[in-house]
């Protein structure tokens, strides 16, 4: 077999997926093109905008700078995996409540990053939230509403 094609197993949102990928394929492209999980967005594709943010083993990572082959053996959670049986994640609800978006393209990455930001404990005040969310750009500049949404969700998540 061509050594540049790999048969891998990826754990995405708690489910195992077997797939054959070109070694060049990023985790982002595997999610979107192979698995139909189009919530994670391709913005810059160079690790600058944060639209592709997912959780890898509980940490926020950029799926555009992660090779799918290198993600084997890790637990990946995307925006599609955030909701549970009780409904939307408190962060998703907070983004709706505070109208924390305009066009919405950066929103899945913002939400994944925001959930991690709360888990990391970087939500003590507006300045800290802004600093630790600076890897997620919003060209519509919904930043004030995003900060407000994160504060609301942090309180619900027990870390406000």
Partner 1 sequence: MRPFEYVRPSEAAEAIRARGVAGADTAYLAGGTTLLDLMKLDVIHPAQLVDITRIQGKAYRKVERTDAGLRIGALVSMAELAANEILLKDYPVLSQSLWLAASAQLRNMARVGGNVLQRTRCSYFRDTSYTECNKRTPGSGCAALDGFHRGHAVLGTSDQCIAMYPGDWAQALIALDALVEVLGANGPRSLRFADLHRLPGNTPNIENNLKPGELITGFVIPSGAWRRSLYRKIRDRESYAFANASAAVALDLNGDVLRDVRIGLGGVATIPWRARKAEEMLRGKPLTEANATAAADAEFADARPRQHNRFKVALGKATLVRALLEARDMKV
Point out which residues bind partner 1 (CB under 8 A). 3-4, 6, 22-24, 26, 45-47, 50, 53, 59-62, 65-67, 69-70, 73, 113, 116-117, 120, 122, 130-136
Q: Where are the beta strands (DSSP E) in 4-155?
A: 5-12, 15-22, 53-56, 59-62, 75-77
Kindly provide the b/e burial profile for residues 98-114, where b requires at least 16 CB atoms within 10 angstroms of the residue's own CB.
bebbeeebbbbbbbbbb
Q: How far is the CB of 151 from partner 1 (least distance, A)?
A: 17
DSSP structural state of residue 159: -
- Select 11 or 97, whichever has its Cβ closest to partner 1: 11
- Select 64 or 94, whichever has its Cβ closest to partner 1: 64
In 3D space, the residue among 111, 127, 137, 139 whose CA is nearest the CA of residue 55 turns out to be: 111
- Select 65 or 97, whichever has its Cβ closest to partner 1: 65
Q: How far is the CB of 85 from partner 1 (least distance, A)?
A: 28
């Amino acid at each position: 077999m061509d050594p540049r094609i790999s048969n891998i197993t990826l754990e995405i949102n708690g489910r195992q997926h077997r797939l054959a990928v070109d070694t060049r394929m990023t985790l982002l492209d595997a999610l979107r093109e192979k698995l139909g999980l189009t919530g994670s967005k391709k913005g810059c594709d160079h690790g600058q905008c944060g639209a592709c943010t997912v959780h890898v083993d509980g940490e926020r990572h950029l799926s555009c700078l992660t090779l799918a082959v290198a993600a084997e053996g890790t637990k990946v959670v995307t925006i599609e995996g955030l909701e549970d049986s009780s409904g939307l994640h408190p962060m998703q609800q907070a983004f709706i409540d505070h109208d924390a978006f305009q066009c919405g393209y950066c929103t899945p990455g913002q939400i994944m990053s925001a959930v991690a930001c709360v888990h990391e404990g970087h939500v003590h005040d507006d300045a800290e939230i802004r600093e630790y969310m600076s890897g997620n750009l919003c060209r519509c500049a919904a930043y004030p509403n995003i900060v407000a949404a994160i504060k609301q969700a942090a309180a619900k998540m027990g870390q406000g």
